[in-house]
DNA sequence: GACCCGTGGTT
DNA sequence: TAACCAAGGGT
């Protein structure tokens, strides 16, 4: 056990990554990084992390910000509940803990958006507390170290015990960072670089030559494909109608161009007209197609058929959303949109620029 | 415990 | 191209 720890720590001090959130011990900054890194790769997070700490440099600054500012800063990162929970948790830290991030595991776990792995990640990194973690990297490393004969999801309890048994009681901060780096840079999902691994002598998978077969994969359900009709509705003032999605569920709190699912046998145009009547209570005329956007979410994929539309009658009502608003094209970038909708905005910009040019 | 929740990169 | 996967948590 001791030689395992020392081998990993020695490797880390030689080959570990230099990352901005390792240059600080500010619990808030480390917390922000841990939330952004959930299910998201380091390379993707880096620019968001730097910008976030410029916009919201303290937990107090985040707590007093408007949710729309917070979502705008998160725009493009995905899993937007992370941003909403981080915002709520910042308000809880200010109100319940006098703006001081708690150092007690059970208290940290109470904060929205922080589970067992994130709590351990923050407390070990910020306070050097010996609390184990079990993220995707650690699961893969341990599945190979143990030659786990089942998918990691079927052995969560065993993997937690293993992570707790392994963590170095003297250098828990470095140990947790080191095992994640090992998974990210050496014990990779495909073609692991076992020759460079400090644990190759201890790794059951390597010694059996089955490291490429592990961890065993989960059986996945095929993801459905939805065809969606989307409306860019113009009024006589040259404004566009957008709506804000409800807080709960997919893309909660973000703005979008209204629309909905095409029913079997229905044309795109008929779908758009029907959906706008049902969701906003107005009549429109459906015009030319603007763009077709294909986009993959985590559990389904969509094709957005986007059409220019003209407002005919009725005042838009927030029937199936939180808010509706008429906005100018130039104002759209003030609102947080999902990625698929940013492509629509780009298409509108190009069309507008072409008209002028 | 199963399902829901985004996006980008890689193969 | 389609499939797979990444510093998980909430319900």
Higher pLDDT, A224 or A110: A110
Write out pLDDT tens, residues A330-339. 999 999 999 9
To the query of whether residue A248 is one of the catalytic residues in this protein, the response is: no
Higher pLDDT, A219 or A41: A41
Which residues does nucleic strand B approach, with CB less than 7 A? A 39-41, 43-44, 76-81, 156, 190-191, 221, 249-252, 295-299, 338-340
**A296-311: average pLDDT:** 93
Q: What are phi and psi of A65, to 5 degrees?
A: -75, 155
Show the domains of chain A with their CATH numbers.
2-213 (1.10.340.30), 225-356 (3.90.79.10)
* Three-class SS state of A13: helix
Q: How many helices (H) and strands (E) does chain A have?
A: 14, 7
Higher pLDDT, A296 or A67: A67
**Six-digit token pair at A117?**
């792995």
**Six-digit token pair at A350?**
């190009």
Indicate the pLDDT class of residue A229, thresholds 50, 70 and 90: very high
User: Per CA to C1' distance, which residue is closest to B9?
Assistant: A41
Length in residues, chain A: 357
**Six-digit token pair at A352?**
């507008």
Does A220 score more than 80 pLDDT? no
Single out the residue of A275, A272, A293, A286 nearest to residue A337, CA to CA.
A293
User: Per CA to C1' distance, which residue is closest to C7?
Assistant: A37
Report the share of chain A in percent with pLDDT over 70: 99
Return all residues near A147 (Cβ < 8 A) that are at least 6 apart.
A204, A205, A208, A210, A214
**Six-digit token pair at A207?**
């010694």
Q: Which nucleotide is nearest to A34 (CA to C1')?
A: C7
The pLDDT of residue A356 is: 44
The pLDDT of residue A350 is: 85
């Amino acid at each position: 056990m001791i030689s395992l720890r020392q081998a990993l720590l020695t490797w880390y001090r030689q080959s570990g990554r230099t990352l901005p959130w390792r240059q600080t011990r500010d619990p808030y900054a480390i917390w922000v990084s841990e939330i952004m890194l959930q299910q998201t790769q380091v390379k993707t997070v880096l620019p968001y992390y730097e910008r976030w700490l410029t916009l919201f440099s303290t937990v107090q600054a985040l707590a007093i910000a408007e949710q729309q500012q917070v979502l705008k800063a998160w725009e493009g990162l995905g899993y937007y509940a992370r941003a909403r929970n981080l915002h709520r948790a910042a308000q809880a830290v200010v109100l319940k803990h006098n703006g001081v991030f708690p150092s007690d595991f059970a208290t940290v776990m109470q904060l929205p958006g922080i589970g067992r792995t994130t709590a351990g990640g923050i407390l070990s990194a910020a306070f050097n507390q010996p609390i184990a973690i079990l993220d995707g990297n650690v699961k893969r490393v341990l599945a190979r170290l143990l030659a786990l004969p089942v998918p990691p999801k079927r052995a969560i309890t065993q993997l937690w015990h293993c992570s707790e048994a392994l963590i170095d009681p003297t250098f828990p901060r470095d140990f947790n960072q080191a095992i994640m780096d090992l998974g990210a840079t050496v014990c990779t999902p495909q073609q692991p670089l076992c020759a460079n691994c400090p644990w190759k002598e201890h790794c059951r998978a390597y010694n059996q030559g089955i490291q490429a077969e592990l961890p065993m994969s989960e059986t996945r359900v095929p993801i459905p494909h939805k065809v969606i009709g989307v409306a860019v509705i113009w009024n006589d003032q040259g404004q566009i109608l957008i709506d804000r999605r409800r807080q709960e569920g997919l893309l909660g709190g973000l703005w979008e161009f209204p629309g909905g699912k095409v029913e079997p046998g229905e044309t795109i145009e008929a779908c758009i007209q029907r959906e706008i009547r049902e969701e906003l209570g107005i009549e429109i005329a459906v015009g030319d197609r603007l763009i077709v956007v294909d986009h993959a979410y985590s559990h389904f994929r969509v094709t957005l058929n986007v059409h220019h539309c003209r407002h005919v009658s009725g005042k838009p009502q927030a029937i199936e959303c939180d808010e509706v608003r008429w906005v100018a094209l130039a104002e759209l970038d003030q609102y947080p949109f999902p990625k698929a909708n940013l492509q629509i905005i780009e298409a509108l910009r190009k069309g507008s620029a072409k008209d002028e040019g």
